[in-house]
Structure 1
């Protein structure tokens, strides 16, 4: 029996979920599908400058899993850019971070926790 996959913690959903060549009135025939968890690894490692280990802690998965997800996401980005394919970001096995868990080290959740802590202290 196959082992069930872990849900990956994600702090941000993409503001736009479709990227591709600008063509007048028509969409490219070929598309690349990137999952939300692949998007999150790109965001954390390349944009937020997390190590793979920090990314794994953030997403609550193994570092080797992060490495596999990240490599797949990079290959999809390259294929989309080089070959002019439409990139669609959707799906995957993830759950949105509520910002209240102690493991979370992203700026969004940290700010959210700090704001709640400040509010709680001012009420006392």
Structure 2
């Protein structure tokens, strides 16, 4: 029997969950990116986390983050190269509750103090 998958901690769900290419090309099947893959891309590429820092934040092993990140990159490449739509949904994740001592993800601090995103960006 396979080992059960551990839930990955994510800061928040994406505000936009679907992306579609412009142009009148044929409708191709959408690429499905999981919420935990989205979070790995957000933390590593947007926030500048190392894979080690990302794994600490998401509460999984570094090798797991590497696997999640590589899968997300392949899906993004298919979206860009093949002009396919992207949908973000599903996965094994748990939304953080904002009570963590470490909140370097760029979002948990907002959960902690109830600050809007714009106020956080001005602080930093």
TM over 0.5: yes
Shift of 1:22: 1.6
CA distance in 1, matches of 2:47, 2:76: 18
Aligned CA RMSD, in angstroms, stands at: 1.8
CA distance in 1, matches of 2:27, 2:43: 29
CA distance in 2, matches of 1:23, 1:79: 17
- Partner residue, 2:8: 8
Residues 27, 12 of structure 1: CA spacing in aligned structure 2 closer, same or farther, 3 A cutoff? Answer: farther
1:57 and 1:103 in contact (8 A); partners too:
no
Higher mean C-alpha deviation, range 9-18 or range 44-53: 9-18
- Partner residue, 2:53: 54
Scaled by the length of structure 1, the TM-score of the pair is 0.83
Scaled by the length of structure 2, the TM-score of the pair is 0.83
Shift of 1:112: 4.0
Aligned residues between the structures: 114
Shift of 1:9: 0.3
After superposition, residues 34-113 of structure 1 pair within 5 angstroms as 34-113=33-112
CA distance in 2, matches of 1:23, 1:12: 31
Higher CA-based Rg = 1
Task: Could you tell me which runs of 5 or more consecutive residues in structure 2 were left unpaired when the two chains were aligned.
Answer: 115-124
Task: Could you tell me which runs of 5 or more consecutive residues in structure 1 were left unpaired when the two chains were aligned.
Answer: 117-124
CA distance in 1, matches of 2:26, 2:91: 24
CA distance in 1, matches of 2:102, 2:26: 41
Superposition misfits of 4+ residues, deviation over 6 angstroms: none
CA distance in 2, matches of 1:107, 1:29: 34
